[in-house]
Chain A
Amino acid sequence: MTKANRNTLLVGLAAALLVGGVVSYFASAQPDGLEKTQADLGADAPRHGGVEAPPVAFHEYRLKGLGEGFWANAAAGAAGSLLVLAILLGVGRLLRRRGAEPASPEPPDAG
Chain B
Amino acid sequence: MHISPGFLSPAVWTATAAVSGAALAASLAAAGRRLDERRVVLMGVMGAFVFAAQMVNFPVPLVPGTSGHLGGGFLLGVLLGAPPAVVVMTSILLVQAMVFQDGGIEALGANVLTMGLIPALVGGAVRRLWRRRAGRLADAATFIGGLAAVLLGATVVIVLLWLSAALPGSVSLWQAVGVMDFVHLLIGAVEGAASVAVVRFVLKARPEAVFEGVGGRMEASSA
- Which residues of A are at the interface with B, using a C-beta cutoff of 8 A? 1-2, 4-5, 8-9, 11-13, 15-21, 23-24, 27-34, 36-38, 40-43, 46-53, 55-61, 73, 76-77, 79-85, 87-89, 91-93, 95-96, 98-99, 105, 107, 109-111
Interface size class of B (residues with CB under 8 A): 35 or more
Which residue of chain A lies nearest to B3 when distances are taken between CB atoms in the complex?
A34
Could you say which of B43, B51, B101, B168 contacts A52, with CB atoms under 8 Å apart?
B101
Cα–Cα distance between A40 and B157 once the two chains are bound (Å): 16
CB distance from A32 to the nearest CB of B (A): 5
Count contacts between A and B, CB distance < 8 Å: 255
Tell me if A46 and B183 are in contact (CB < 8 A).
no
CB distance from B221 to the nearest CB of A (A): 12
Tell me if A37 and B32 are in contact (CB < 8 A).
no
B8 at the interface (CB under 8 A from A): yes
CB distance from B13 to the nearest CB of A (A): 8
Could you say which of B10, B102, B154 contacts A33, with CB atoms under 8 Å apart?
B154
Tell me if B95 and A87 are in contact (CB < 8 A).
yes
Q: Residues 59-80 of chain B: 1 if any A CB is under 8 Å from the residue's CB, otherwise 0?
A: 1100101111100000000000
Could you say which of A9, A15, A20, A37 contacts B55, with CB atoms under 8 Å apart?
A20
Tell me if A85 and B67 are in contact (CB < 8 A).
no
